[in-house]
Amino acid sequence: MRLLPILMLLTASLFWLQTVSANDLKVGVVDIARVLEESPQAAAARDNLQKEFSPREKKLIEKQKKIRDKEEQLARDGAIMSKSERDRVEREIISLKREFQRDQDEFRDDLNFKRNEILEGLQRKLIGSIRNYAKAKGFDLLLAEGVVYTSDTLNVTEDVLSAIKKDAK
């Protein structure tokens, strides 16, 4: 089913290309993944995400260490503990593990939600910058995804990155 719209688009593109002379058409290709990876805006977004979530990550690491310490205490002193003391420590370990798992799941969900939110906004900004670049440079067609091959002469990713870096300053 999804193949039909693609075929229609390709057919329409071929008819359009036949009516336009190859000399009149300015085409380029942009590697969006590379732009997302190397742009200053992406680096700033990664830094902000790290700053926001590193305190919670440190707390999780501390909880994990506390669990390990309790397990080591039980392994080391379990034989000389009274049954009630050993049972209490075992219940405490189980409780700490449950709490840790809950906190870890919540952390992961919050991090993924925030990462996706930031990525969506970043993609919108970068696509806008790429469109502005294409208009300013007079491109008729600037392709991004779905390109199997492009020659270096058509690849304008480096120029786009330079323009985006200038806009970020």
Tokens of 156: 């304008």
Which pLDDT score, from 0 to 100, does residue 19 have?
Answer: 52
For residue 5, give Cα distances in angstroms to 1, 13, 103, 140, 143: 8, 12, 45, 22, 18
pLDDT given for residue 142 in this prediction: 87
pLDDT for 14: 56
Q: Residue 168: its pLDDT value, please?
A: 74
Q: What are the residue ranges in the chain where pLDDT is below 70? A: 1-23, 148
Domains of the chain: 18-168 (3.30.910.20)
Q: pLDDT value at position 3? A: 54
Q: What's the pTM? A: 0.68
